[in-house]
Amino acid sequence: MSGKYDEVDPRVQWAMNVLDDEGQTYESQTERLLPGIMVGITPAFGNMLYNFTNKIPIHTNWMKAAITFPLGFGLYAAARNWKDGIRAENQAVMKRYIMTHPELFPEPKRVKYIDFIEPWRPVRY
């Protein structure tokens, strides 16, 4: 969609600046990869628990469980990409709505922090 809504109305430029993350990601690689690793090793732990409850050697069928790691990790990665696509689409819809209805989004007044602080009132019982 291109046309008259490609340029941002000066009345809502502040909102576009707030919504713009400038290409930065706000999560570490650990936060991004750890859930996938946990989903990937779940079959191995399930296999160990199954073997333990049936009183057979814990490492029995270990290779079957190890082979499922890439499947679990891939399943998590696909779900993550799908959810990220939904988030990106929702943000694009939100930006488009703000751009098409600037009268509904007046710029908030700047307030000094010292004026925002309320006096402390002790609560005594």
The parent domain of residue 57 ranges over 29-115
- Number of structural domains the chain divides into: 1
Residue 97 near residue 82 (C-beta atoms within 8 A) = no
Element (H, E) at 17: helix 13-19
Q: Kindly tell me the burial class for residue 55, based on how many C-beta atoms sit within 10 Å of its own C-beta (0-12, 13-18, 19 or more).
A: exposed
Residue 2 domain flag: no
Which pTM was predicted? 0.69
Q: How far is CA 78 from CA 44, 48, 86, 87, 101, in A?
A: 20, 26, 13, 14, 35
Residue 81 domain flag: yes
pLDDT digits 0-9 by tens, 21-65: 887 878 888 888 999 999 999 999 999 999 999 999 988 888 888
Residue 9 domain flag: no
Residue 93 domain flag: yes
Band the pLDDT of 6: cuts 50, 70, 90: low
* Residue pointed to by tokens 């799908």: 82
